[in-house]
């Protein structure tokens, strides 16, 4: 195995190692990351939504990150980070904790760049995401009941076995890579007024703040489930304390622990942050499926739920809603279809 590293003092409740840099990336770093992303990934479409444009009396565009190879934006960060991996980690490889999309990004990057990848997931992880990680060549280990249990196990394995621990958010290269989506938005719609972004660990929202917010002066608004408000509390209250509430079905925004680096970016740059109900998230998921024929995860629908809270402010504006995560659990998708059918029939 590789050289063993001991954890160092961390500003949040997660583990960091000496090789972690907690300095937030800059907009210039996002441009540098783009050279890597463009070598490995296709540009994603920015498509006008006729149904949402009519609903909000606005020009609403969907940034279709679900068309990326793993179905989620995180792959941008995965390839950026692994492309710059120090030589000492190329043999032992990388390790990450994930409920699915972060793990798939690390697995994909590992396969593309010939680096071994291990992913620790909760015991009840979405089976389709686990299968996808394994098909990409990752070794999947199961541990604990939720993301944070899996994260703690991945951190321990990194210390014990010498893997390079790929943190979910405290990684400048990862956030810079994710931010390349925002550069594409600005190039296609430099007149963008609002962008609504779900927040789990905060890497996507931080990336859009550094690009769509900084370059187009767009208002960037974050959205998180009120049943898992860790990052919202960190942003609004100015601390990094864990939250004991984490009950949302939307796994992409389900975390109990706020992350230091992305919280810093969001506190400095995010214009607004909304907590939305799981019921509103599920409604958004159903509407994206029924009206757009998009199979989206709950995290994407959180952004739509936040848009609906600010409906009056959006009239006549140009609005972008990132769509990321087509890896919906079968049971969630089935429930949404059944409820949509019931609504239409009045049953």
Catalytically active residues, by annotation: 74, 324
The encoded tokens of residue 37 equal: 């992303």
Handedness of CA 131, 133, 135, 139 (dihedral sign): negative
Contact by Cβ (8 Å): 86, 343: no
Phi and psi dihedrals of 262, rounded to 5? -70, -35
Rounded Cα–Cα distance for residues 216 and 232 (Å): 24
Residue carrying the six token digits 């209250």: 237
> What residues have CB less than 8 Å from 164, skipping those under 6 apart?
2, 19, 85, 86, 89, 92, 93, 94, 95, 158
Residue carrying the six token digits 């279709």: 64
**Phi-psi label, residue 67: left if phi above 0, alpha if psi -120 to 50, beta otherwise:** alpha
Rounded Cα–Cα distance for residues 297 and 325 (Å): 5
272 membership: H or E segment, kind and range: strand 272-276
HEC string of 197-237?
A: EECCCCHHHHHHHHHHHHHHCCEEEEEEECCCCHHHHHHHH
Entry field: residues in the chain: 347
Dmax (CA) for the chain in angstroms is 62
What is residue 61's three-state secondary structure?
strand
């Amino acid at each position: 195995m590789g050289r063993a590293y001991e954890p160092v003092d961390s500003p949040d409740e997660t583990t960091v190692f000496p090789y972690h840099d907690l300095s937030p990336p800059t907009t210039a770093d996002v441009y540098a990351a783009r050279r890597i992303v463009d070598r490995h990934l296709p540009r994603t479409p920015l498509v006008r939504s006729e149904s949402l444009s009519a609903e909000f009396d606005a020009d609403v565009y969907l940034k279709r990150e679900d068309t990326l190879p793993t179905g989620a934006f995180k792959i941008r960060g995965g390839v950026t980070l692994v492309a710059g991996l120090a030589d000492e980690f190329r043999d032992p490889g990388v390790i990450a904790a994930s409920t699915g999309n972060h793990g798939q990004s690390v697995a994909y990057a590992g396969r593309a760049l010939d680096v071994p990848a291990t992913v620790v997931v909760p015991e009840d992880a979405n089976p389709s995401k686990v299968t996808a990680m394994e098909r990409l060549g990752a070794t999947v280990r199961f541990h604990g009941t939720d993301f944070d249990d899996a994260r703690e196990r991945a951190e321990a394995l990194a210390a014990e076995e010498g893997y390079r621990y790929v943190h979910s958010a405290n990684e400048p290269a990862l956030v810079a890579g994710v931010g390349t989506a925002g550069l594409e938005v600005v190039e296609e719609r430099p007149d963008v007024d609002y962008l609504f972004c779900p927040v789990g660990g905060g890497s996507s929202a931080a990336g859009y703040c550094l690009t769509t917010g900084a370059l187009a002066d767009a208002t960037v608004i974050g959205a998180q489930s009120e049943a898992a408000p860790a990052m919202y509390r960190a942003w609004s209250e100015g601390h990094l304390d864990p939250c004991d509430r984490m009950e949302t079905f939307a796994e992409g925004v389900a975390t109990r622990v706020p992350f230091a680096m992305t919280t810093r970016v969001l506190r400095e740059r995010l214009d607004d942050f909304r907590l939305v109900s799981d019921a509103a998230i599920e409604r958004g998921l159903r509407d994206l499926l029924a009206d757009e024929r998009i199979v989206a995860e709950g995290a994407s629908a959180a952004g739509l739920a936040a848009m609906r809270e600010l409906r009056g402010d959006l009239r006549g504006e140009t609005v972008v809603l990132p769509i990321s995560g087509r890896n919906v659990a079968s049971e969630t998708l089935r429930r949404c279809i059944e409820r949509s059918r019931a609504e239409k029939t009045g049953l």
